[in-house]
Amino acid sequence: MTSSAPLRGLTTVTLFADDLDAARTWYTEVFGVEPYFVREGAYLEWRIGDYQHELGILNSKYAPHPHTPGPAGAIIYWAVDDVEAAHQRLLDLGATEHDAPTERGPGYVTASVLDPFGNVLGVMRNQHYDDVLAAR
């Protein structure tokens, strides 16, 4: 790694859950695949999507700092082809609305939900992501 580019990309997004078994069931349904890495009772991790990005769920009792239930200040958006359909599917699976599908500009639509464990989960149609994927 060179000093001119200290950040090379996201590796793992970690969310928290008090009930890891319920989180495993819910996110396995959302992603359609079991986690590839499991530390029983402590941590789960999935590889997702075109670039195999990682989403981890950490048992709240192992949080590196006191974890306050409820939405935090950041939203991680996952690329989807159809924001409205993805948003509705998450609601159908038991999430609650955080932000309805909204066009943010040409080629950019976002939405977000609260998962059953209080984390914000965003979905986005992002023209930049589509352009990068098409150039591969």
pTM: 0.83
Q: Are residues 40 and 87 in the same domain?
A: no
At 120-136, the pLDDT tens digits run: 999 999 998 889 889 98
DSSP state of 103: E
Surface-to-core class of residue 24, CB atoms within 10 Å of its CB (0-12 exposed, 13-18 middle, 19+ buried): middle
Number of domains in the chain: 2
Residue pLDDT, tens place only, 21-61: 999 999 999 999 999 999 999 999 999 999 899 999 999 88
Can you tell me whether residue 90 is helix, strand or coil? helix
52, 88: one domain: no
Site of tokens 């069931």: 25
Torsion of CA 95, 96, 101, 102, to 10 degrees: -140
| Residue 42 sits in the same domain as residue 74 | no
What is the residue type of 99? D
The parent domain of residue 26 ranges over 10-63
H/E stretch holding 134 reads: helix 127-134
